[in-house]
Amino acid sequence: MIHGRPSAFGPALGTAATLAVPLALAACMPPRPDPSLWYRAGADPARMERALTACEVDAAREVPANTQIRTTPEFTTPQRTRCRTSITGEEICRTTGGDTIGGDIVSYDSNAGLRTRVVAACMQDQGYARITLPRCSDEAAARFTHYTAMPQVAPGACAVPVSGGGYRIVTP
């Protein structure tokens, strides 16, 4: 039914519209960023995870959380009334606007950025570099095998997510 009348297209139009809306919304979403991971050729991934945890603990000790609370800016939309006369001569008015947006109370850690930089410096001191690789295609991900030493990154390398979090490198 379209606007209360039966559709010449039957239920197919409703199904198509139902499928089109999520697809249209997905098209508007920003693409997921490529994975970023700590890397040192030949390093044991388990040792890298331990080093990262130690760096995160040290950074939390050196740069503790500093929770701040603030209020977001508040704005009220302009109010507008529109009137029209119906076929029967009755005046019909509709008022829109007057909505207040913002004014939310939010908390944030003002030290989060500094703590991230301290972790990065700690990992770099241990010989690791932060690299970004494209996500592996399903075909490339199927080639992934568990490794005990990070491979040399070569052109065409990609990253595959692993259980427990993080990514591993797949080389061509």
Mean pLDDT across 82-103: 92
Say if residue 116's pLDDT is above 50. yes
Weakest-pLDDT range from 77-81, 132-136, 159-163: 159-163
Question: Any residues with CB less than 8 A from the CB of 112 and at least 6 apart, and which?
Answer: 65
The residue length of the chain stands at 172
At residue 107 the predicted structure's pLDDT band, cuts being 50, 70 and 90, is very high
At residue 2 the predicted structure's pLDDT band, cuts being 50, 70 and 90, is very low
Say if residue 1's pLDDT is above 50. no
Say if residue 96's pLDDT is above 90. yes
Give the DSSP letter of residue 34.
Answer: P
Q: Where are the beta strands (DSSP E) in the chain?
A: 36-39, 67-71, 74-76, 80-85, 91-96, 100-102, 105-109, 129-132, 158-161, 167-170
At residue 14 the predicted structure's pLDDT band, cuts being 50, 70 and 90, is low
At residue 16 the predicted structure's pLDDT band, cuts being 50, 70 and 90, is low
Q: Residue 144: its pLDDT value, please?
A: 80
Residue 134 CA to residue 158 CA, distance in Å, equals: 5
At residue 111 the predicted structure's pLDDT band, cuts being 50, 70 and 90, is very high
Q: Residue 23: its pLDDT value, please?
A: 56
The predicted-structure confidence for 69-80, as pLDDT tens digits, reads as follows: 999 999 999 999
